[in-house]
C-alpha cells in the first residue's frame, strides 16, 4: 500500500485535495502566528517597563492599527484574491497575469495616494499628532516621527502585501506563514536591542512593522519569479482595461466593507485614545492582545478556507461548502469558548507573571473580551464563506449599519464604562445587526441553489 493510500485509509480528509491545501495553509500560518505571538510575549513587558506610559500607548496603538488600515489598498487585494481563485480554477494563465498586473498597478497608486495624504496632513494641520489622541508637548516630536514612519511603511506594504492575496488565491497560503515567521524572527532580535539602547519610538515601529513589510517585499520578489507570473509579458498583457475595471468594481465593494469592519471592530484604539488618552489604552491593549491570541489561532486555521470555498462554489460543489461551513462554525465556537474561559480564570496570574507588575484588569473587561472572542470566531467563519462566495454587497450593507451603531456606541459608552464600554458596544451592534444578516444569507444561498 502506498503512503498516499495509507493516509487516505487512516485520514478521511487526505483524499480531499482542497482540504489538504487548507490544512497546509493553516499549519504554516500557525508557524507564522507562533512567531508573532512570541514577539508579543517577549517585547510587550520589555516595552512597558522601558517606555513612558504615553509612548507605550502610542506603540501599542500603531501596532493595533495595522489591521485597521487593511482598507488602505481600496479593497483591491481581496478583489485580486477572488480573481486569482477563478483564474486558477479555470486554468487560465493569461487571466491570472492580467489580474495580478492590474492589481499591482492599483496597489501602487493606492500607496502613493496614502503617502501624499499624510504629507498634506503634516503640512497643513496645526497639530499633526492629534490623530494619536492626547499627546503631551514633550512627546510630540517622537510621536510625529513614529506616525510618519508608520505612514511610510503602510504605503510601501500595500503593494508588497498583495503577494499574500495571490498566494491565498492560488491555495499556496503556506508561504504566508513562512514569511510571517521570518519577519517575527527579525522583530524578535531588533525590538529588544532598540529598547536596551533606549532608541527612539520610530525605530520600534520600523523594527515591528518594517520587518513585516520587508518580509512581504522579499516574498513578492521570490514567489513571482518562481511562478514566472510576469515572464515575457508586455505592459499590454499585464494591465488590461476590462480586468482593471472589474477589480475596481469588486474592490470598491470590499473597500466599503473593510472600512465598515475597521470602524466596527478595530476602532478601539481610536476611540479610547481620543476619549481617555494613551496610558489607559496601553493597559487595555495589553489585555486585549491576550484574547487576540485566541482569534489569531482561529484565523490561522481559517486562512485557507476563503479560496477553498471560492473554488468549491466555482465548481458548483455546494454540498462540500455547506458541510465544511457547519463544521467550521461548531469547531470555532467550541474552541473560542474553552480558550476564552481559561483566559478569564487565569488572567490575574498571567498578567502578574508576564508583566511582572501588580496590574489586575477589571473582571468586566475580561468577560466582555471573552464574549466578543466567541462571537468573532463564528463571525470569521461566516465572513470567509461569504467572501469566497463573492457575496460582498450584502456584507457591505450589514457592515455599514453595524459600523454606525458600534462606533457611535463606543463614543458614548467609553466615557461612562471606560475601555469595557468599547467592547460592549461592538457586541451589541453585532448581535442586533450582523447575526440576523448572516442567517438571511445562509438561507438565501443554500435554498436558491438546491
| Segment 377-423, tens digit of pLDDT | 998 888 888 877 777 778 778 888 888 898 899 999 998 999 999 99
Mean model confidence pLDDT for the chain: 82
Instruction: Say what the pLDDT of residue 67 is.
Output: 64
Q: Is the pLDDT of residue 345 over 60?
A: yes
Q: How confident is the model at residue 13 (pLDDT cuts 50, 70, 90)?
A: very low
Q: Is 91 left (phi over 0), alpha (psi -120 to 50) or beta?
A: left
In degrees and rounded to multiples of 5, residue 172 shows phi and psi of: -120, 40
Domain coverage including residue 64: 13-448
Sorted by sequence, the CB contacts under 8 Å of residue 126 that are 6+ apart come out as none
Where helices occur in 173-277 by DSSP H, the ranges are: 174-196, 201-226, 235-238, 241-265, 268-275
Calpha distance 405→425 (Å, rounded): 8
Residue 312 has pLDDT above 70, yes or no: yes
* Domain-located, residue 150: yes
pTM, to two decimals: 0.67
Determine which of 32-36, 340-344, 423-427 has the lowest per-residue pLDDT on average. 32-36
Q: Who wins on pLDDT, 258 or 185? A: 185
Is residue 33 within 8 A of residue 177, CB to CB? The reply is yes
**How many domains does the chain divide into?**
1
In a domain, 154, yes or no: yes
* Mean pLDDT calculated for residue range 328-354: 89
pLDDT of residue 146: 93
In a domain, 303, yes or no: yes
Say if 3 falls within a structural domain.
no
In this prediction, residue 189 has a pLDDT band, given cuts at 50, 70 and 90, of very high
SS3 92: coil
In a domain, 301, yes or no: yes
The candidate with the shortest Cα–Cα distance to 70, out of 158, 147, 131, 200, is 158
- Classify residue 8: in a domain, yes or no: no
Between CA 100 and CA 76, with CA 387 as vertex, the angle to 5 degrees is: 35
Is residue 243 domain-resident? Answer: yes
pLDDT value at position 120?
95
Domain membership of residue 7 (yes or no) is no
Amino acid at each position: 500500500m502506498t503512503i498516499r493510500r495509507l493516509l487516505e485509509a487512516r485520514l478521511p480528509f487526505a483524499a480531499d485535495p482542497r482540504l489538504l491545501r487548507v490544512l497546509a495553509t493553516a499549519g504554516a500560518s500557525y508557524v507564522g502566528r507562533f512567531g508573532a505571538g512570541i514577539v508579543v510575549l517577549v517585547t510587550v513587558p520589555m516595552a512597558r517597563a522601558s517606555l513612558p506610559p504615553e509612548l507605550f500607548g502610542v506603540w501599542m496603538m500603531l501596532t493595533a492599527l495595522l489591521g485597521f488600515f487593511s482598507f488602505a489598498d481600496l479593497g483591491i487585494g481581496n478583489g485580486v484574491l477572488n480573481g486569482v481563485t477563478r483564474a486558477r480554477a479555470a486554468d487560465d494563465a493569461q487571466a491570472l497575469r492580467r489580474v495580478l498586473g492590474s492589481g499591482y498597478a492599483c496597489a501602487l497608486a493606492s500607496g502613493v495616494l496614502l503617502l501624499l495624504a499624510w504629507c498634506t496632513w503634516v503640512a497643513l494641520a496645526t497639530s499633526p499628532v492629534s490623530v494619536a489622541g492626547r499627546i503631551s508637548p514633550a512627546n510630540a516630536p517622537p510621536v510625529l516621527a513614529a506616525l510618519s514612519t508608520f505612514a511610510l511603511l503602510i504605503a510601501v506594504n500595500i503593494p508588497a502585501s498583495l503577494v499574500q492575496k495571490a498566494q491565498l488565491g492560488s491555495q499556496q497560503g503556506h508561504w504566508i506563514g513562512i514569511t510571517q515567521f521570518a519577519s517575527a524572527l527579525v522583530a524578535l532580535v531588533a525590538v529588544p536591542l532598540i529598547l536596551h539602547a533606549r532608541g527612539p519610538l520610530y525605530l520600534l515601529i520600523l523594527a515591528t512593522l518594517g520587518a513585516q513589510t520587508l518580509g512581504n517585499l522579499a516574498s513578492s520578489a521570490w514567489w513571482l519569479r518562481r511562478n514566472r507570473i510576469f515572464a515575457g509579458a508586455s505592459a499590454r498583457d499585464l494591465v488590461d482595461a476590462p480586468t482593471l475595471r472589474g477589480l475596481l468594481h469588486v474592490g470598491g465593494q470590499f473597500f466599503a466593507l473593510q472600512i465598515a469592519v475597521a470602524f466596527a471592530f478595530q476602532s478601539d484604539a481610536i476611540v479610547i485614545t481620543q476619549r481617555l488618552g494613551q496610558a489607559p489604552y496601553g493597559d487595555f491593549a495589553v489585555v486585549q492582545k491576550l484574547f487576540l491570541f485566541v482569534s489569531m489561532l482561529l484565523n490561522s486555521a481559517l486562512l485557507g478556507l476563503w479560496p477553498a470555498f471560492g473554488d468549491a462554489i466555482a465548481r458548483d460543489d455546494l454540498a462540500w461548502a455547506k458541510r465544511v461551513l457547519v463544521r467550521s462554525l461548531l469547531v470555532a465556537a467550541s474552541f473560542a469558548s474553552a480558550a476564552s474561559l481559561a483566559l478569564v480564570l487565569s488572567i490575574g496570574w498571567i498578567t502578574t507573571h508576564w508583566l511582572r507588575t501588580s496590574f489586575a484588569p477589571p473582571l468586566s473587561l475580561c468577560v466582555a473580551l471573552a464574549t466578543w472572542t466567541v462571537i468573532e470566531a463564528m463571525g470569521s467563519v461566516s465572513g470567509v464563506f461569504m467572501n469566497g462566495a463573492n457575496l460582498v454587497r450584502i456584507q457591505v450593507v450589514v457592515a455599514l449599519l453595524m459600523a454606525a451603531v458600534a462606533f457611535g456606541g463606543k463614543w458614548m459608552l467609553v466615557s461612562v464604562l471606560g475601555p469595557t464600554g468599547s467592547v460592549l458596544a461592538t457586541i451589541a451592534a453585532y448581535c442586533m445587526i450582523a447575526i440576523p444578516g448572516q442567517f438571511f444569507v445562509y438561507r438565501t444561498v443554500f435554498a436558491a441553489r438546491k
